[in-house]
Structure 1
Amino acid sequence: MEEDLQQLIKAYRMYQKMMRYPHLAEAMRKIFLSVLSEKISLDEEQIREDALKALQKEKIEPSEDNIHEYMDAMVDLEVVNHFGEEEIDQYINLARKEDRLEKLIKVVNTEGVTSLRIKKALRDFCEIPEGNTFVSPSEAEGVRVALIHHFISNQLPFKGIAKNHITIRDIDEIVEHSYWSPRYPGRIGGKAAGLVLAHRIILPRLMERDPELERYLAIPESYYFNSGIFSDFMDYNNLQGFHTHKYKNRKDIEEAYKKIPAIMEKATFPSDTVDTFRRFLAEVGEHPLILRSSSFLEDNVGHAFSGKYDSVFIANSGTPEERLEEFIGGLKSVLMSTFGPAPILYRKERNLLDFDERMSVLAQKVVGRRFGDYFFPFAAGVAFSFNAYTWSSRINQDDGLIRLVFGLGTRAVDRVGTDYPRMIPVSHPLLRPEVGVSQIRKYSQKKVDVFDVEKKRLERMAFLDLIRKIDHPDLHLAISVNQDGNLAAPMFKGQKIDLNRSCLTFQNFLTKTPFLSAMKKILEKLENAYGRPVDVEFAVDDGKLFLLQCRTLSLRKELEPVTLPENIPKDQILFINSRGVTNALVKDIEYLVYVDPRAYNRITGYTEKAEIGHVVGEVNRFLDGKRYALFGPGRWGSNDINLGVKVGYPDINKTLIIGEIAFEENGSTPEPSFGTHFFNDLVEADIIPIAIYPDQQGMFIDEKLLLTAENRLAKELPEHARHASVVHLIHVPAATNGTLLHIYQNAKEQKGMGIFAPRS
């Protein structure tokens, strides 16, 4: 009796909950029936029979109304008999979600609907607890695509990937962190979209998460100023004419852009938009911000726009009005970059000029901590899921490459001249292109980018100067110390360190933190989801890895699969290589510089061999502005002058190709290393390394052509005529009846060749 009473009480409580939404009672019972059929094999027909029996027993007329009334009661009783209160609540909420989803479907598919109406319908759906019962997958997918199109991105490749990872509730959270104009719809743009998508690929909302990534990965606090603000700003200030600048010639585009800063200085935002900015700044508080471009086209599949638009650091400190002025100034700078020559010419080259490009802004709290006047993260950088520069056969290209720096990541993503990020092949993270303490120290990072909060600007400081000014708790993870000719990382935190003998190696960081394990998983997950290589920008601070940006890898032609030409006559082939091949496609090379390995090896004196390096440098300067390829013996840039020509980066920085030729000598083959001593220089300068072993099966170089073609060294650089027996300066068209050199390299197949053919 007591048990029956308990069940009646449960049934009554369930009924009370159902009656909060009386218009959904029928839908709820349909769900109950479906669950009863699935879980206890009790179907509608059987319940109807039981209802008829009960009516007969009570001598009540078996009308349809009475039958349905009894069936409803029986369904309710069966549900409370077999399921707990929490599970029942899930089924009630599922009916509510299906009802709200139906309304959301109508709204998002109504032509001309306002963002506010969609936002309200979206919020109505998402205020229902998420639970673990879900609406129809096909209907949810349709809504996701429509919402992504309206609020995030209109790019089809992105939508095709994002719909499988970004949920309706994710979009609601994005909308809640978005700021827009009430007069214009807008989207958050490509960069913001890529970050949102990457986050959900790595840490899915509805699937099991990797525990390590859940603990270690974070996303910086982010806010989205959508493209409607840009459109409103342009119209409010009558700047619509800027949109036609893209059709001008290059010179006129550059001239027009010079006038834009003065115009932007006078331009203002509508008062309600300024009020929106004030609310944002009050919400975010005083913390350094980075305002990042996030245009419609930016970071899209096949079109990365890397570095084409501006990102601006702001201190976000001072009085409310000072902060507002700084924020508006930074925002204008990002919006103005839409009309810069670099992105417009980039679009022109890729037939994107007719696209109606609009700019959104991703505002993020800068990752890091404050040390005195300086704000910066422990480390930052960029990681590639595909490693295009494998200087050792041990390296697996598909595991990726990481460029890591101490401090702000601007040091890793920008070209840094004579300074060097730490290059980390993910498959062999401790394998370096440098050998020996002196080389490791030489090719270590010397300068650090930080944000000076007081001066409100980026500063570039010597690493040792910075470390002497502050007390960084994680220094032991970043540096190694030269001890009796060996570099050793600190044994423990707090160990006394001689900074004068130290350099940045990140040895402890790579071996004693989850960074590498996490990054390998991240790159793998993202590449699998995108179906192609990706690169991500990141920062690391206080034990967390922050994802800052994700896009498909900026695949130049030489990183796309390269098809080697077939059936080429041997007299049109300069070389064939099949070892240590990196992806490359370099066409229309007009000059060849060939340092004859055999002649070089016959030189016995150190001074004369050193002079060859000087001659190569002079030729390099002479060919500035020309397309040329450089080939020579063994290791370019080696400190051992007998292993290769001793040159520095300025001696080879104008070449497109640096070829290392290894002939067998005394039964052994010197091992070319793609100029490992200045490998980072090659990466920064986009110089393609090629290794050729002419004595090995399947490889070849036309030594006869290189030695018999007219050598223009004496003619062009008469002061170096006496070295013409070693250094050959060859004008390719003159030597090959008007053709040019074209180089094809396929890393996957480990095959490459250089051929003579007409201009492409």
Structure 2
Amino acid sequence: MICGRGTIGGKGRSLLFALRQLRDSGDEQMSRTKVPRSIYLSIEIFHQFLERVPHLDTLLANNDPQEIERVFLETPLPQAAGMYIRTFLADMRDPVVIRSSSRLEDDVKHSFAGKYLTNFLSNNCGGLEERSVAVENEVRRIYSRTFFPAAADYRERHHLGGDDMGIIIIRMAGRWRGRYYYPTMAGVGYSQNFRRWTTRVKQDDGLVRMVFGMGTMSTKRGYARTVSLTNPILRPEGFSPEKISAIAQESFHVIDEERPNQITTLDIKKEWKQLLTYHPDFAAYAQIYRCDDGEGCFFQIMKNMASLSPGTKVCFTFDSFPRIYPDFYKRVKKTLKLLENKMGVPADIEFAFEPTEDSFCLIQSRPFWSNNHLEGGIPELSQRQILLQADRMVTHGAIPQITKIVYVDFNRYYAQRDFYGTARLIGELNKASDGEPYILVAPGRIGSSNPELGVPVQYSELTNCRGMVELGIPRLGFMPELSYGTHFFSDLEVDGVLYMPVFAGEDRNIFNADWFESKKWEPWCDNPAIRVYRGSFAAYMDGESNRGVIIDKDMGETD
């Protein structure tokens, strides 16, 4: 159902387009693809709402986000919107998702990933009026985000002008399992793999990044399983049980009826017994990891297990999933290729899946922008010039001249434990750069939501960064990860920021620690973990050969 005239915004428009293409595909499996029950508020409703906001021009001119949100929350929605919302909720007690769908969202280049707002409501407390008011409040909250700095700065940076907000209100994919509501698995998929972890994987193969539980876990730089759609056995992290267990998902997102209107994170160590009750195929997703005398190995979970033995843990490896559900990958690949052909550009989807029912639910579909057309290639170099070298997942492109490298010393960062303080100081350094570009080298996952995995810096704090190197230090738990589907990587793609991961100590990877220790550097704000190196540097990355290097150009002059 659509309330109002005019466009329903980018997300809504793209989702309905994808559904129509799948239904008309002539393929029985793709035609069974579901889209959650939804209603759409067009941008006409948004403009009718703005007409009701008192002293709107003055409010927006003051540019106070908290005051904008307060006034918007006190302003009633148009009557038609309220009626649509009440009709939608009348016979439904499942959780709902209220999503932004602005006019500019999900176009070919600018996805606005993470710039607006998506909210989840449990929708199972109180009567119809109370539940409807809760949804109306979230609609107004999303309306206010149109004028918040995150979106306004993004539009200004990309010369996009103003925006108009549509809304999608969706029954959340999944079901109640006891007190928790979630889909069995969810994630994101791409028709093209622009950052391959091995030459055995082709760009055209496509990939998925999937998690157990709600897909919100896959849009953050946390743990997820990344899979090539034509070779799902291959792992970016390799086949070592130690490495697999180190980056395997150990928690998942749900809606908890006892903690309404928020996403709850559950620890698999505490929940695995009841998960066996609700998921007879649980062995397809999870395994038990044990380490004996330095040797790690995995075991299957058995239904008759009473408890975990000491020194073991449960984690989501999806190790048996390709064997038990091989058609899943074929289905996703078909879906992505169809959408790519119909849109004329690479496709990007969000999905939820109930494997035991073969029920595939499309949650979002949009064009997948990539700057992969940037000129890349690596010139002749002397070995002593190379500061960092990667052998997988590199962006295709080059920065032939840059004068600054910002380096986060992993030993200091780990020892001082001031994770968020370090992240904010990097943001201040970026701001003080006054437009001067730099390459950032940091341990683990830059922009991680979990500071134990890497520096939790926000993308908005890296506006002058032109290249990122994630440094893998296994002994400290810092491991880069191919985080397709995250808002962070969507921004990297749009802005053409080069990226490569370096796994210290691995073959064909170089981390020139002697250079970083001997080269003169500048401290930043008395934080010993942050170093600034100045000189003549360059970055060269070749996506075809899967090799990337950062070099000190001055080192070659003395050869």
TM-score tier by shorter-chain length is 0.7 to 0.9
- Structure 1 residues 270-281: aligned runs within 5 Å: 270-281=78-89
Distance 1:576 1:279, change over 3 A: closer
Q: Which residue, out of 528, 535, 548, partners 2:348?
A: 535
SS at match of 1:309: coil
Which residue number corresponds to residue 408 of structure 1? 214
Does 2:265 match 1:453? Answer: no
Deviations 1:105-143 (A, max 9, x none): xxxxxxxxxxxxxxxxxxxxxxxxxxxxxxxxxxxxxxx
Distance 1:745 1:203, change over 3 A: farther
Measure how far apart 1:455 and its partner are.
3.0
Measure how far apart 1:481 and its partner are.
3.1
CA distance in 2, matches of 1:567, 1:393: 20
Does 2:442 match 1:442? Answer: no
Q: Which residue, out of 43, 51, 59, partners 1:227?
A: 43
Which has more radius of gyration? 1
Distance 1:475 1:757, change over 3 A: same
Does 2:117 match 1:300? Answer: no
CA distance in 1, matches of 2:134, 2:143: 14
Distance 1:613 1:213, change over 3 A: same
Measure how far apart 1:213 and its partner are.
2.7
Does 2:117 match 1:310? Answer: yes
SS at match of 1:464: helix
CA distance in 2, matches of 1:709, 1:374: 51
Which residue number corresponds to residue 422 of structure 1? 225
- Structure 1 residues 59-458: aligned runs within 5 Å: 177-180=1-4, 185-204=5-24, 207-209=25-27, 211-215=28-32, 217-238=33-54, 240-241=56-57, 245=60, 253=63, 256-282=64-90, 285-317=92-124, 318-353=126-161, 355=162, 357-416=163-222, 420-432=223-235, 433-457=237-261, 458=263
- Structure 1 residues 482-501: aligned runs within 5 Å: 482=289, 486-489=297-300, 501=313
Does 2:479 match 1:678? Answer: yes
- Structure 1 residues 653-732: aligned runs within 5 Å: 656-658=468-470, 678-680=479-481, 688-689=500-501, 711-712=519-520, 731-732=533-534
Aligned amino acid, residue 232 of structure 1 = Q
Measure how far apart 1:286 and its partner are.
2.4
RMSD over aligned Cα atoms: 4.5
Aligned amino acid, residue 732 of structure 1 = R
CA distance in 2, matches of 1:496, 1:425: 33
Which residue number corresponds to residue 330 of structure 2? 517
- Structure 1 residues 632-647: aligned runs within 5 Å: none
Contact 1:581–1:745 (CA<8 Å) still a contact in 2?
no
Measure how far apart 1:363 and its partner are.
1.4
Deviations 1:658-685 (A, max 9, x none): 579xxxxxxxxxxx99x99823288778
Measure how far apart 1:505 and its partner are.
1.5
Deviations 1:388-411 (A, max 9, x none): 433333222321222211111111
Contact 1:581–1:752 (CA<8 Å) still a contact in 2?
no
User: Normalised by the size of structure 1, how large is the TM-score?
Assistant: 0.56
Distance 1:730 1:341, change over 3 A: closer
SS at match of 1:518: helix
Does 2:271 match 1:466? Answer: yes
Measure how far apart 1:617 and its partner are.
6.0
Measure how far apart 1:586 and its partner are.
6.8
Does 2:318 match 1:506? Answer: yes
Residues 261-270 or 296-305, more deviating: 261-270
SS at match of 1:481: strand
Measure how far apart 1:192 and its partner are.
0.9
CA distance in 1, matches of 2:168, 2:455: 41
Distance 1:287 1:351, change over 3 A: same
Contact 2:287–2:317 (CA<8 Å) still a contact in 1?
yes
Distance 1:339 1:360, change over 3 A: same
Equivalent residues, number: 493
Which residue number corresponds to residue 477 of structure 1? 284
Deviations 1:730-758 (A, max 9, x none): 8333xx4xxxx231323136565656799
SS at match of 1:346: helix
SS at match of 1:680: coil
Larger RCO: Structure 1 or Structure 2 (Cα < 8 Å, ≥ 6 residues apart)? 2
Greater share of residues in strand = 2
CA distance in 2, matches of 1:702, 1:489: 37
Measure how far apart 1:710 and its partner are.
6.8
Contact 2:245–2:289 (CA<8 Å) still a contact in 1?
no
Where does structure 2 lack aligned partners over 5 or more consecutive residues?
A: 431-437, 445-451, 490-498, 555-559
CA distance in 2, matches of 1:744, 1:394: 22
Measure how far apart 1:349 and its partner are.
0.6
CA distance in 1, matches of 2:15, 2:392: 34
Measure how far apart 1:296 and its partner are.
0.5
Distance 1:757 1:333, change over 3 A: farther
> What is the percent sequence identity of the aligned residues?
24
Measure how far apart 1:467 and its partner are.
3.5
Where does structure 1 lack aligned partners over 5 or more consecutive residues?
A: 1-176, 595-611, 638-647, 661-671, 722-728
SS at match of 1:560: coil
Deviations 1:253-283 (A, max 9, x none): 4xx212012212321124454334333333x
Measure how far apart 1:372 and its partner are.
2.2
Greater share of residues in helix = 1
Distance 1:586 1:656, change over 3 A: farther
CA distance in 2, matches of 1:227, 1:615: 50
Contact 1:561–1:746 (CA<8 Å) still a contact in 2?
no
CA distance in 2, matches of 1:565, 1:394: 20
Measure how far apart 1:293 and its partner are.
0.8
Distance 1:553 1:495, change over 3 A: farther
